[in-house]
Amino acid sequence: MIDLKEYILTNMDDAGMYLGKEIHFECPDCGDKKGHCSFNIKKELFNCYKCGWSANPVTFIMKAESISYKEAESFLNTDKEKIPSLPKLKERLNKTFEEPLDKYTEEEHKNSKLPVEYISFGSLMNLKFNMKKTVSAEEAKKLDSPMDYNNAIFYMHDREFKSETLKEFKIGFCIKGHYKDRIIFPIQCGNKFSFQSRRMYDHQDQKYKNPPGAKYTQLLYNYQYLQYIKHKEGSIKRLFIVEGGFDCMRMFELGFKTTTAALGKGIHDHRISLLLDVNPEVVYLMLDSDAESQAYKNAYNLVNFFTTKIIHLPKGIDPDMIRERKQMLLHINNAKEYSKKELQKIKENKWQKLAA
């Protein structure tokens, strides 16, 4: 028997969970993309509140697959591993996360909408490039790129990331075009692909320059790894939420691999539904030290669903700045768990920490 929830999330356009109770997606009848069409997981009923279309599982499959009633019944009762039109989710989850981006399929390249000027650090490593040295003219010719990309290499070297970490996260950069002199973070969250670009130099006009139409409120960075661990081990004991890609990479490098980045500061409905799908036992919030009030707001949203703790970093310290595991463990062990009652009082105090 196929899993309808899995089928919708992996096959229907603009599909996304809503607080673990409903899945909203593009209506197969009127094409509405604004969340009016939904699937109630408990009742197994489909409704579009814009055009009035409704369906049960069989009539939904008839519409989605363009098949007859009998064929739809048979489809629903078939072993999902034998259905060719269903993506092999298990294979995706069991994929290693060490292959460079240039090993993605052509379709994944298309969906990710990466800049055409994107160069992966993985491609440099395939030439056995030493991150501590400059690239020779001969190596530059092999990559068909000008020498300017040494700047990107020096930038990452100064941030003290290991080559393996850059390859693991498929980090790249651009030396020309709209994203010139920017580090590129490819993002895969479920069946959604995007990227984020970060400036290398302070004089550049925007710290982050994002692709048109990017919906970061519907994404979590490193989410595919969380899915992999949940599938492999059955549970996630500790999940860490940080702000940016570099913070997430640092945590991963220090051994705290079940870390996700919110690509910003807020945690709201859609991201909560993603977290509910991997269902961690404890959620640790570790935002930058200048975002304490936002950490309380996020904890207030999360505490209804998870045991929630906040890691309070010293002033001027961001997670990416912590380079030793022992130092990070000290901060984690000092995390404070908050109840809904405590957070309500902080909310009444305009999200400021209460006096001791």
For residue 199, the domain's CATH number is: 3.90.980
Q: What's the pLDDT tens digit per position in 90-136? A: 343 333 233 333 334 445 445 456 888 888 887 765 544 444 444 45
Q: Looking at the 3D structure of the chain, how many domains does it have?
A: 3
More confident residue, 174 or 151: 174
Q: Are 126 and 184 within one domain?
A: yes
**CATH number of the domain encompassing residue 78:** 3.90.580.10
Containing domain of residue 156, as a range?
94-214
Contact 2, 80 (CB under 8 A): yes
Residue 83 has pLDDT above 80, yes or no: no
Q: For residue 302, what are its two tokens?
A: 């999360």
Query: Rounded distance, CA 310 to CA 286, Å?
Result: 6
356 occurs within a structural domain: no
Q: Are 253 and 157 within one domain?
A: no
310 occurs within a structural domain: yes
Residue 197 has pLDDT above 80, yes or no: yes
The Cα diameter of the chain in Å comes to 67
Q: What pLDDT is recorded for position 10?
A: 64
More confident residue, 254 or 122: 254
Residue 6 has pLDDT above 60, yes or no: yes
Q: What's the pLDDT tens digit per position in 111-120? A: 456 888 888 8
Confidence band, pLDDT 50/70/90 cuts, at residue 241: very high
Domain end residue (candidates: 49, 84, 119)? 84
Confidence band, pLDDT 50/70/90 cuts, at residue 247: very high
User: What is the reported pTM?
Assistant: 0.65
- For the ranges 35-39, 62-66, 313-317, which has the lowest average pLDDT? 62-66
More confident residue, 85 or 310: 310
More confident residue, 116 or 255: 255
Residue 58 has pLDDT above 60, yes or no: yes
- For the ranges 129-133, 242-246, 257-261, 329-333, which has the lowest average pLDDT? 129-133
